[in-house]
């Protein structure tokens, strides 16, 4: 079984992401150009993430960070719900689009043109961190390096992390060389519990997700609260 075109493009662009900071024109090199083009061509679902919508239902809004915000669907959604939202991404044209849409809806969203390495996550800042299909900035899985500790430090006590991405099994079944792509339930649980989080949800489901060209894929849905 072959992977979808969208996942294929994400996989290829990950190698570009690693060296993006070595180039200065544009700031994030070909990686920035690639994401600007993809987002402009509406590769992705523009509806907010369903898991995110479920999690914040009934919660008093606070400060939210949308990691690698992309086209801004989740940032716009959170701002509509009263959250004070910050989103960062290397796709500068996508950030411009977010600001344009926010202005049309009389919303305030802070956008920062930055990579994961450049962005200042701050300490004890966020009531909510959204990690929606962002593993491309972590070599295929957010548990692969020091990213989860960085997120953990930035989240306030009782703050939430909402994560969704393709499961490790998906990449093992669909790629001849899946490398380290895709996390497992055990990886996420251990990584976040080690950083002082209570895991509220960690489950997999094979269904149509935010990405994947409308085809079902096995993905992980994860929610944790900082103790």
What are the pLDDT digits (tens) for 78-99?
999 999 999 999 888 889 989 9
The rounded distance, in Å, linking the Cα atoms of 100 and 112 is 14
**Which residues are CB-neighbours of 149 under 8 A, at least 6 positions away?**
195
Give yes or no for residue 155 having a pLDDT over 80. Answer: yes
Confidence of residue 212 (pLDDT cuts 50, 70, 90): low
pLDDT digits (tens, 9 = 90+) for 122-138: 999 999 999 999 998 99
DSSP 8-class letter at 62:
-
Write the CATH number for 176.
3.40.50.150
Confidence of residue 179 (pLDDT cuts 50, 70, 90): confident
Whole-number average pLDDT of the chain: 84
pTM recorded for the entire structure: 0.84
Confidence of residue 218 (pLDDT cuts 50, 70, 90): very high
Range of the structural domain that residue 59 is part of = 5-226
Average of pLDDT values for 159-181?
Answer: 92
The rounded distance, in Å, linking the Cα atoms of 127 and 203 is 22
Give yes or no for residue 10 having a pLDDT over 90. Answer: no
User: Listing from the earlier edge strand, what are the strands of the sheet with 109-113?
Assistant: 109-113, 84-89, 63-66, 126-132, 155-166, 216-226, 197-208
Cα dist from 54 to 51, 114, 175, whole Å: 5, 28, 31
Overall number of domains in the chain: 1
Q: Count CB-CB contacts under 10 A for residue 127.
A: 21
pLDDT digits (tens, 9 = 90+) for 188-203: 999 999 999 999 999 9
DSSP 8-class letter at 190:
H
């Amino acid at each position: 079984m072959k992977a979808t075109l969208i996942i294929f493009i994400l996989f290829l662009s990950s190698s570009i992401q690693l060296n993006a900071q070595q180039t200065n024109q544009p700031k994030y090199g070909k990686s920035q150009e690639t994401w600007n083009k993809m987002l402009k061509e509406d590769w992705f679902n523009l509806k907010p993430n369903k898991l995110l919508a479920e999690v914040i239902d009934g919660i008093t809004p606070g400060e939210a960070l949308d990691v690698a915000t992309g086209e801004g669907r989740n940032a716009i959604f959170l701002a509509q719900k009263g959250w004070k939202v910050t989103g960062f991404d290397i796709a500068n044209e996508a950030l411009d689009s977010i600001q344009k849409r926010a202005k049309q809806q009389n919303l305030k969203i802070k956008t920062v043109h930055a990579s994961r390495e450049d962005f200042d996550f701050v300490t004890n800042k966020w009531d909510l961190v959204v990690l929606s299909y962002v593993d491309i900035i972590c070599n295929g899985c957010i548990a692969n390096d020091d990213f989860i500790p960085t997120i953990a430090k930035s989240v306030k006590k009782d703050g939430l992390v909402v994560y969704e991405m393709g499961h490790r099994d998906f990449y093992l079944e669909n790629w001849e060389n899946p490398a380290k792509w895709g996390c497992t339930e055990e990886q996420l649980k251990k990584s976040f519990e080690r950083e002082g989080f209570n895991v509220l949800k960690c489950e997999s489901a094979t269904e149509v997700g935010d990405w994947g060209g409308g085809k079902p894929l096995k993905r992980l849905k994860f929610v944790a609260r900082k103790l």
